[in-house]
Structure 1
Amino acid sequence: MSTTGIPAPKSASPRTRWRLRPPRIGALFVSPYVLFVTAVFAVPLGYTIWISFHRFYFTAPGTDIDTPWVGLRNYQDVFTDPVVQRSFLNIAIFLVINVPLTVVLALVLASALNAKLPFRSFFRAAYYLPYVTASVALVAVWQYIFGADGLLNTVLGDLAPDPSWLVNSTLAMPVIAVFVTWKQLGFFVMLYLAALQSVPRELYESASIDGAGRVRSFMSVTVPGVRHATTLVTVFAIITGANLFSEPYLLTGGGGPDHASSSPVLVMYQKGIEQAHPDFAAALGVVLVVFVVVLALVARKFTEKGAE
């Protein structure tokens, strides 16, 4: 009994105290993923940062050579390399086209596929099919369409660009951006479809009672209702776009014409593997990681602006 006459609370039993602690079983379940992330991402990233500050060479197993400290020399080479500068300009052009196009098309298509339509399951599978199809097969189709003697130029006739789409320094990267948008659209449509399930139907009914049409309901109910999904789609599109490699490598023969479609990851491959400068490639990789993180944070801040 306390001095105020109010009974003092009893101390928790050992069993109760154990229950109040964070469940250790949760840490046990997530530990395999933590180990996976550490082994696959954290350790290679740390080793890459170490390489970027040294003069490093690929050698045969068991060969021991000096790897002298060079400080910021590799980063200086990266920032002054005209090919690297062009690759970042190319990826900026790609993202300006790909990210808004992906967000708008994915949301519109997801809203349409969320309604009661005939053959709705078929259309959902059809949009997802390019995402799970091998890039090599899809590239062959697009080369047939956009090649110099391809289907599109045959249809356009004299209106076809000269030089053709994929060998045109102005049009090559926009064509790649459209191709990647089409290829990955099904994945982002599925993300929006999942988000639309959490938007209450009552909001659409209230908007209809207030006289809102389909466009107004879409802008006033759907867009705010999937705001967090839009952030996820935007960040995913930026990350995948900044890591562009196979599409320019296959479509334009390695970033042509004259590096007009090269990407930072493609330049990393060319410098690090083909030209045997892994230290330069490591520095470029670190710069790219910082670039993507900053861009993703800015995009998240912009897309979630005004959210509660």
Structure 2
Amino acid sequence: MTVVHAEPRAGDADPSPARRGRSSRWSGILGRNPSGLLFSAPYLAFVAVVFAFPLGFAVWISFHDYFFAAPGADVDRPFVGLDNYTNVLSDPDVRRSFLNIGIFLIINVPLTVVLSLVLATLLNQVVRGRVFLRVSFYVPYVTASVAIVSVWLFLFSGDGLVNEVLGPLAPDPPWLINSFWAMPSIAFFVTWKQLGFYILLYLAALQNVPRELYEAAATDGAGRLRTFWSVTVPAVRPATVLVVLLSTIIGANLFTEPYLLTGGGGPNGASASPVLIMYQRGIEQGTPGVAAAIGVILVVLVLLVAWLQRRFVGGGES
């Protein structure tokens, strides 16, 4: 038998080193499955148009003497360097607004984490009426703030239900016009309104906790409090990180509640937030450059706080 050896064809030859290099570079950029970029392209375009471009434009505005003009009008918007940032940092109203939002977050974030986790744990153990209770907690979250602010104003007004119950212990002046209690009152309102959303996040996390952990804790003689602290809390740690981050980011963008509850940050700016000051400076007073500088500073601070939270709460390990 004669063995015939086929000659290698030109198309069967190994690709040249240059072609292999180009292929590896494209693989590094597009990944092993380039079709994934095609499916994610709509979301990437959405992020670029709705988030990336406005943020970049805001940074550009913050370095210019910008003002609004009619579409197509050719106006001069000179570069002013750090003047807008200097004005912002030297403005006592702006500094106080950042202090106010710090007070808000110190009250709102821990309350949100503790209450939502405790209530989610209790709801997870309820058998009868579970759906009704979950919907009851979630309804305030999906209800517009404008629709329920009137109820809150009735409860915390000078002759409201809360002051009637507290009697001589009620603050004078009342809650929402009291420079000390205005921002804590808003923090309690926001915590109550958004609690249902975070309860659902924790309920989803509790569904993934293995039952064997609770059975092992019961076998070891652990009580409910010990089981909650040693089993539930560590098991839902990723959800806790998410709740902390979301409540911080949402709280830092506080606007509607002080605008409606305290008449635009009163009394005397005690409940003003940075976003509310941005609205007042940019829209009402016609200085968009200053408003953009406030926004850029707020974004940097929120990113810093979020990084610190992930660093110390343990988000990286989760």
Q: Does the pair score TM above 0.5? A: yes
Work out the CA distance in 1 between the residues paired with 2:299 and 2:285: 22
Write the letter of the residue equivalent to 1:36: F
1:252 counterpart residue number: 262
Correspondence for 2:194 among 177, 184, 192: 184
Deviates most, 149-158 or 83-92? 149-158
Please state if 1:40 is matched with 2:50. Answer: yes
Work out the CA distance in 1 between the residues paired with 2:114 and 2:241: 12
2:34 counterpart residue number: 24
Q: 1:164 deviation in Å?
A: 0.5
Equivalences for residues 3-22 of structure 1 within 5 A: 22=32
Write the letter of the residue equivalent to 2:87: D
Work out the CA distance in 1 between the residues paired with 2:184 and 2:227: 32
Deviates most, 195-204 or 297-306? 297-306
1:265 counterpart residue number: 275
Work out the CA distance in 1 between the residues paired with 2:87 and 2:256: 25
Please state if 1:207 is matched with 2:248. Answer: no
Write the letter of the residue equivalent to 1:146: F
Q: 1:182 deviation in Å?
A: 0.3
Work out the CA distance in 2 between the residues paired with 1:43 and 1:306: 28
1:160 counterpart residue number: 170
Equivalences for residues 220-235 of structure 1 within 5 A: 220-235=230-245
Deviates most, 147-156 or 120-129? 147-156
Correspondence for 2:299 among 261, 286, 289: 289
Correspondence for 2:70 among 55, 60, 75: 60
Q: 1:293 deviation in Å?
A: 0.4
Q: 1:28 deviation in Å?
A: 1.1
2:94 counterpart residue number: 84
1:7 counterpart residue number: none
Structure 1 unaligned spans of 5+: 1-10
Alignment root-mean-square deviation, CA: 1.9
Q: 1:115 deviation in Å?
A: 1.1
Q: 1:149 deviation in Å?
A: 2.1
Q: 1:117 deviation in Å?
A: 2.9
Work out the CA distance in 2 between the residues paired with 1:305 and 1:139: 35
Structure 2 unaligned spans of 5+: 1-12, 15-23, 25-30
Q: 1:104 deviation in Å?
A: 0.4
**Contact 2:310/2:316 (8 A) holds in 1:** no
Write the letter of the residue equivalent to 2:280: Q
2:3 counterpart residue number: none
Equivalences for residues 271-282 of structure 1 within 5 A: 271-282=281-292
Please state if 1:147 is matched with 2:157. Answer: yes
Work out the CA distance in 2 between the residues paired with 1:262 and 1:179: 15
**Contact 2:100/2:272 (8 A) holds in 1:** yes
Q: 1:137 deviation in Å?
A: 1.2
Work out the CA distance in 2 between the residues paired with 1:242 and 1:116: 34
Work out the CA distance in 2 between the residues paired with 1:305 and 1:125: 29
**Contact 2:238/2:315 (8 A) holds in 1:** no
- The DSSP-based 3-state class of the residue aligned with 1:129 is helix
2:184 counterpart residue number: 174
1:96 counterpart residue number: 106
Q: 1:25 deviation in Å?
A: 2.4
Work out the CA distance in 2 between the residues paired with 1:299 and 1:74: 29
Please state if 1:304 is matched with 2:314. Answer: yes
- The DSSP-based 3-state class of the residue aligned with 1:212 is coil
Q: 1:305 deviation in Å?
A: 7.0
Q: 1:185 deviation in Å?
A: 0.3
Write the letter of the residue equivalent to 1:88: F
The structure that has the greater radius of gyration is: 2
1:50 counterpart residue number: 60
TM-score by length of 2: 0.89
